[in-house]
Chains A and B, each alone.
Chain A
Amino acid sequence: MNAANQPHGRTTALQSLLRNPSVMIGAVILLCVLLIGLLAPFLHTMSPDEINPSVRNKLPGYESTLRDDDGNKFKFVHLMGTDSLGRDIYSRVVFGARVSLLIGATVALISAVIGLVLGLLAGYFRWLDAIVMRVMDGLMAIPAILLALSMVALLNAGLSTVILAIAITEIPRVVRLVRSVVLSVREEPYVESAIAVGTPTHVLLVRHILPNTIAPLIVQTTYIAAHAILVEAVLSFLGVGISPETPTWGNIMAEGRAMFVMLPHNIFFPGVFLAVTVLAVNLFGDGLRDLLDPRMRKRL
């Protein structure tokens, strides 16, 4: 509260971040998944799309004999078994982490940036508000999966189409959030004071209004990332997402759907990874909200 502890403001923020259990657990798991994705080639994996008809539908722990590029034989243990084309599920799950995280991060970033700009403008300029918000209402009325389905059908299926499709459905939430913050902040006397001293509108928006939206936006962004990972998995599972040879958790599960009763590992392992990752992102977001939400902070 006082002048005395001001210089330590940043350290205490970082300390409370580290002290918050959900932020810590979420961050550690996310970091692990990120490392798994980045280091995928070095984690005792083989090429995720290498088809081997001789070892189709094997249970976890099956040991197969393979040949390397020089024709030398070596043993390879399929930790999570193989799918109906004989691909190593462990390798596919590990490489799949890349796609999931990439989609989570890019969708969150794209929808946050576009949503922030639209929200700021809609919240500040009343005449624009009616137009932007009606468009957003329209977008929100279309089920996310359906919109994504039709976009993938119209454009060619691929990573960028999926990212675009998911991002479009997430933008309205960000716009609403940012707009609501702007609506309350624009009535603050310090904003009016800035108008009275002749601050140009674009400076006013960036300098006095935008900083207030950052904290809720960060929290919302984490939820969007988690949701995007899930939606991508659903789209892939339905066979309308990223092309089936690309290893994504949704694709692996789609592949194993037919044999689920006999060979549940096809779905089990990617499912666990998906669930744990989404849980971690959500934990992280919840923790951040506790820390960043000013109403929560007052209670501390």
Chain B
Amino acid sequence: MSQPVLELQGLEISLPRGADRAHAVERVDLTVRPGEIVCLVGESGSGKSAIAHTIMGLQAKALVPTAGKILLQGEDVLTMSHARLRQLRCTTMSMIFQEPMTALNPVFACGEQIDEVLRTHTALTATARQARVLDMIQKVGLVDPQRMLRSYPHQLSGGQRQRIMIAMALVLEPLLLIADEPTTALDVTTQAQILALIRTLQREHGTGVLFITHDFGVVAEIADRVAVLRQGELVEFGDKEQVLARPTHEYTRMLIGSVPSMTPRVRVQAAQGEPILRTECLVKTYPNSKTPAVNQVSLELRRGETLGIVGESGSGKSTVARCIAKLISTTSGSIFQHQQNIAPLSTRQMRPLRQCVQIVFQDPYRSLNPRRTVGDSIIEGPMNYGLSRKEAWARASELMELVRLEPSMLERFPHEFSGGQRQRICIARSLAMKPEILVADEAVSALDVSVQAQVLSLLDEVRDQLNLAMLFITHDLRVAAQVCDRIAVMSRGEIVETGRTADIFAAPAHPYTRTLFEAAPGANWLFEAGGARLKEVK
């Protein structure tokens, strides 16, 4: 066996005093061999990004590597000089980041940014460099390379930017590529393309890849070997098939078990009676935009059912949610709450009717006013509708128990809670209004899988207990399969397909829906409580 490109020996990175634990990373041993992809999996705060940044010598000042070695081709990164480190970056090791918009410099054309790598590390002439850059841009599958050279990052889509980042990272054919959640900010279809691209380029050049992700779907798609990190400790490290199919550590088993299954869950259809919410030919065109963000959308929602709106970014799914919650005005069409059309109502006319529809947002860190206690946030709504502080507080205490938090926590501020807890608080705040319709706008997308599973089951339980209608907006087919009774697939502002979840998953009719299913990472694996297994091909 050849010498590993990267070898971590007992790496330990300490956290500053007062952090929730002493070490960001504790005694991690890890190897990446040439030509293989090692996936480093963990939930947020597990220290996976700390490892990646330390290997590149880019760690934050507060994170100090205190023990161990990082051997790059046998040379210890931790003890080498800054000059040597600078020499090795891009030539021997490269990194791509999660957010390609912020990783590229907005004031330079993409071509120049790739060229800078060559200018710094090689003695090539301008024409030779130019040829090399063009060649690389072609290799990462960008059409019209000449135009790409001259384009600025803001002129490109997320996927194109990430391709530019990959071109920049691989232009000098480094032995090691570190990819820090490179597809997390991208749509599934783009993600599938980028994953395929990384795989192809890595095979061609025999690059060793350390691929950091939180998504087991991506792991199933791309990994050769998998390392599972939990609170800075490496709990499991082995071949993909072994780790996925026969996880030995409890934590790995829990993580794999938490991945929502692609098989729709069968639920006794509970939808009852007349629709309590109905949209007819809903159109929303934002000012200064010619194409409507939402075009001719007609939906129906009944008590006790969950309707999922599935689509990629820019498909207009969130705009539908915000129209229905009357956070933005509609351009044309109607929204019927029971029998009343609320679409033309003004802010003032709308206020008495707001209780009916409540919304939970994606980002639990920004959904609560950081200056107010969570109790004050929860009772704000009921008090707007005439409840006394005492009554509202009593209701808030009951709701805290419903979302499995202590009523005594009402006195605390949002920053004292974790993301999952905050999302529960947001749900409690919505429920305090006694709504009939709960809109969840990507409500679990920002959460770790294990927390996601808990919040999903909470939403399910709440809907059944309070007999709510739920509008569930998500980009994630797995999540949709688990909570939705019916699904509407949106693309470019229009609903391309609607139907019962089981039907759509069994036989997607529209070509776009089929593309979505094909792009879903790890679709040919079944994730179950004990481990994952490959789906039998029919």
Contact = CB atoms under 8 A, between A and B. Distances in A.
A275 to B, nearest CB: 38
B20 interface: yes
A143 interface: no
Nearest to B322: A192
B416 A200 contact: no
B369 A190 contact: yes
Contacts of A194: 369, 380
Interface in B1-54: 18-20
Interface string A194-213: 11111111000001100100
A196 B366 contact: no
A211 B369 CA distance: 10
Interface in B379-396: 380-381, 384-385
A188 B366 contact: yes
Given A2-B20, A6-B416, A193 B367 contact: yes
Contact of B363 (A189, A196, A200): A189
A199 B362 CA distance: 21
B433 to A, nearest CB: 6
Contacts of B368: 190, 193
Contact of A193 (B355, B359, B412, B413): B359
Contacts of A3: 412, 416
A65 B421 CA distance: 80
B413 A6 contact: yes
Contacts of A192: 327, 359, 361
A155 interface: no
Interface string B335-362: 0000000000001000110110111011
A1 to B, nearest CB: 7
A1 B366 contact: no
A193 B429 contact: yes
A194 B384 CA distance: 10
B427 to A, nearest CB: 12
B416 A196 contact: no
Nearest to B384: A198
B426 interface: yes
Contacts of B535: none
Interface residues of A, number: 21
Given A190-B367, A211-B371, A197 B20 contact: no
B325 interface: yes
B384 A199 contact: yes
A1 B18 contact: yes
Contacts of B426: 193
Contact of A1 (B351, B355, B415): B415
Contacts of B366: 188-190
Contacts of B327: 192, 195-196
Contacts of B385: 198
Pick from B20, B359, B369 the residue with the most CB of A within 10 Å: B369
B351 A197 contact: no
Nearest to A299: B61
Nearest to A192: B327
Given A189-B363, A190-B366, A193-B359, A198 B429 contact: no
A197 B351 CA distance: 9
Contact of B381 (A5, A190, A197, A211): A197
B384 A200 contact: yes
Pick from A2, A188, A196, A207 the residue with the most CB of B within 10 Å: A196
B532 to A, nearest CB: 34
Given A190-B369, A193-B367, A208-B369, A198 B416 contact: no
Contacts of B18: 1-2, 5
Contacts of B351: 198, 200
A3 B327 CA distance: 34
Contacts of B429: 193, 197
A190 B366 CA distance: 6
A198 B354 contact: yes
Contact of A197 (B347, B362, B412, B433): B433
B266 to A, nearest CB: 33
Contacts of A196: 325, 327, 354, 357-359, 430
Contacts of A208: 369
A211 B372 CA distance: 11
Contacts of A197: 354, 358, 380-381, 384, 429, 432-433
Interface string A1-12: 111011000000
A153 to B, nearest CB: 44
A126 to B, nearest CB: 9
Interface in A9-59: none
Contacts of B367: 189-190, 193
A197 B326 CA distance: 11
Nearest to B415: A1
A196 B416 CA distance: 24
A194 to B, nearest CB: 7
A195 B328 CA distance: 11
Contacts of A207: 369, 372
Interface string A162-192: 0000000000000000000000000011101
A205 to B, nearest CB: 13
A6 B414 CA distance: 12
Contacts of B358: 196-197
A189 B416 contact: no
A214 B510 CA distance: 53
Contacts of B370: 190
Nearest to A211: B371
Nearest to B361: A189
Nearest to B371: A211
Contacts of A188: 366
A207 B363 CA distance: 21
Interface in B426-445: 426, 429-430, 432-433
A108 B162 CA distance: 49
Contacts of B19: 1
A193 B20 contact: no
Contacts of B20: 1-2
19 contacts: A1-B18, A1-B20, A3-B412, A6-B416, A188-B366, A192-B327, A193-B377, A195-B327, A196-B354, A197-B380, A197-B381, A197-B384, A197-B429, A197-B432, A197-B433, A198-B351, A199-B380, A199-B384, A201-B347
Interface of B: 18-20, 325, 327, 347, 351-352, 354-355, 357-359, 361-363, 366-372, 377, 380-381, 384-385, 412-413, 415-416, 426, 429-430, 432-433
Ranked 8 nearest A-B pairs via Cβ: A197-B381, A189-B361, A198-B354, A189-B367, A198-B384, A190-B369, A3-B416, A189-B366
Given A189-B363, A195-B327, A199-B380, 8 more contacts: A5-B18, A189-B366, A196-B325, A197-B354, A197-B381, A198-B354, A198-B381, A199-B384
